[in-house]
Structure 1
Amino acid sequence: MHSLSTLAFLIGALVVSGGYCHREVETRSLDQIYEAAKAEGGVVTLWAGGDEKDQQNKLKDAFEARFPDITLNLTVDLSKYHDGRIDEQLAAKNLYVDATFLQSLHDFPRWKSQNALLNYQPLEFKNIFDEFKDSDGAYYGVFILFWSNIWNTDKIDAASAPKEYTDYLKPAFKDKLALTYPNDDDAVAFQFDLIIKQYGWEWFDDLIAQNPHWVRGTATPSTLLSPSLNNVYGATFTSEIGLASSGSLNISFPTKGQFVSWPQTGAIFADAPHPEGAKLLTNFVLSDEYQKASGWSVRRDLPGPSGYPTIFDMPGTNVTAFRDFMLDRAAVERLRFRFEDKIGTAQGFSPLVDDL
C-alpha cells in the first residue's frame, strides 16, 4: 500500500486547464532532437545538485562529445541553494535555467502545482520505474545516487573494516572518521535517521565520542580519504565512490542496516529558454548509452550493474523511502535541529577546500 506522501509524489499536484492536462510525448529520434536543438541556438543550461563544481563533468563531457554542436552550460551547487534561486527566477518571470537535476525531491510536486514544469515524456519514459516519475512527465528520476561504507585500507586494517554502522564505534575509528554534517544535507540526515531508528540515539552519542571530523558536502569525505592526501582520515559512510573499490579505497554495504539510495530527479521548465536543448539533454541522460555507464539505472528494462541486482532488488536499501522523508518537511526540520543541538551548526565552506 502506498503512503499518502508516496501518492503525492507519484500523482503530483495535477496541472489542469478546464480539466485537461497537456502532455508532450516524444516520438523523434535523438538525432532529430539534436537538429532542433542546433536550430534553437545550440545551448542548454542545467543546474545540477552537488557539492563540488566538477561533480557532473562526466555528464558534460559525454553530452558534448555525443552532440558536438551543443554547449551544456552546467552549474553544480547544493540542491537546497539551487531551488531557492530557481524560485526567485520563477517569481521574477526571468527564467534562464532550462532544466534541473536535484536531490530536493519535495520541490518537484510544488513546481508542478505552480505550472512551472513542462509536462514532457521523453523517449524512454515508459521504461522509467513508475515510482520515480510523475504520470504527466513533469519530473522523473534521471540516475541513482547512494551512500556506502568507504574505507582506506592503508589506514584501517582488514579486521576493523566497516560492514555495519556499529563498526564505526570500534577503537580503530577513533579520530579517523570524516563525516558530512547531518544537519547540512537532507540525504545524510536521512542516513543518520535510519541508523538511529535501528540503534538508538545512544549510537549517535557514542559516534560523537569517536571525534569524527565533520565536513560540509558529501563529496568531501571520500576526497579526504584519498591516498594522495597526508591525513589520518580513514573511513566514512556519508559519501560514495561508485559501486567498485578503487585502489586502497574499499566499499561495502551493510547487511543488517539500511543505506540510503534515491533517484536524483530532473525536470524541464515550462518557460525554458532552450526547450529543445533541454529535451536533448534529458533524452541523452535516459538513453541506454548513458544509463548503462551510470551504475544503477532508473529504467526497469535495464539490468543491474555488474555484480548487482536492480536497485529495487538490492538488499539493504529502500530507494523510495528518501522521497517520503523529504516530503515531510516538518519532521526533517525537527531532526535537523536535534542534530544541531548535539554537534553545532555546520562550519566551513562547502566543500571544505581548506581541508584538502
Structure 2
Amino acid sequence: ERQGLRGEELAAIDKAADAIRGTVLKVSEKGKSKKGTALAALRSDFSGALRDRAVALLRQRAEELDSNTLSSLALRVEGDGLGKIKKMIFSLVNRLQEEAAADTEKDGWCKKELATNEQARTSKKQQMDTLQGEVDQLEVDITELGDSVDGLSKDITKLAADREESEKLRQAEKEENEETIKDAQDAQKAIAQAVAALDSFYSGAVAKASKTALLQDSISDAPDIFEGSYTGMDGGGVNALLEVLEADFARLETETKAAEAQSLGEHTKFMSDSKVDKAAKEKEVELKTETKNQKANQLKSKKIDLADAGKALAAANKYLEELKPECLRPAMTKEEKMEQRKQEIESLKEVLEILQG
C-alpha cells in the first residue's frame, strides 16, 4: 500500500512538473516574440502588480500549508527577475521529485531495517530464554550432584569406620571363643583324668574287698568288726556328676565352635559386601564428580553465551531507538507529505499563471 501511494505521488509530481514546464515555456515563448518595447513593458508589469500578486499568493499558500519551501520562494521572488524565478521553480520541482523518490527509498530501507531488527531482537530474546533455562538447569544439576557426592562420601566414611569396628569386634570375639573352647577342652581333659583316677581307685578297692572277705571266711572265730567288705564311698554318684560336667563342657565346646563359625561367616560376608559397596560408592563419587566438573564448565560457557546474547539484544534495542525518529515517528504522515507536495506544486502553477499575465 505504501509503495502504491509513493508511485501515485511520483506520478502526480511528474504530471505537475510537465504542466509547469509547459506554462514556463509558454511564458518564455511569449517573451521572445515581443519586441523591445513590449518586453520592457512586460518587465515593468512583472516588477509591479504581477510580482506583488505572485508574492501575495506564495505567502498565503505558505501560511496555509505551513510550507517553508513556498515561504522561501516568496522572499526570493521579491528580489529576483523572471529568469531566476523560472530556475527556482524548476529547481523546486526537481527537489520535490527527489524528496518523493528519497522518501520511497527511505520507506523501503526503513521497512527492511525494522524487519531485520525485529528478527534479531526476537532471535536474541529466544536465545536468551533458552540459555537462561539451560543455566538454571545446570545450576540445579550441579547442586544435586554436589549433594549426592557429599552423601556418598559420608556413606564411604561410615563404611570404612564400620569395617574397622567389625574387624575389632571379630578379633575380640574370636579370641574370646578360642579361650572358651580351650577352657572347655581343658575341663574335659581334667574330668576325664578324674574319672580315670576314680575308676582306678574303685576297681582296686573292690579287689581288696574280695580278698579281705576270703580271709575272714577262713578265720571262723575272728570277731565281726565290720559287716561286709569296704569298697569305698558311693563312687557311682561322683562319676555320674563328673560325666554330667564333662557333657556340659563338651556341649559348650561344640556350641562355641558353631558360634565362632557362624560369626566368622557373617563377618566375612559383611567385609566382602561392604568392600563391594564401598568400591561402588567410590566409583559413583568419581563419575559424579567428573560429571559435576563437566557441567560446571558448561555452565561457565553458557553464562558467557548468555551475556553475549544480552549484549546483542541490547545493541538491537539501541538500534531500534535510533530507527524510531526516522522510521516510526515521522513529523507528518506519508499522506500529509503527499498532499503538501501536491499543494505546493499547484501553488507553483498558479504563480506561473500569474507571471504569465
TM-score by length of 1: 0.22
Give the TM-score, by structure 2 length: 0.22
From the two aligned structures, give the one with the greater strand fraction. Answer: 1
Kindly indicate which of the two structures has a greater share of residues assigned to helix. Answer: 2
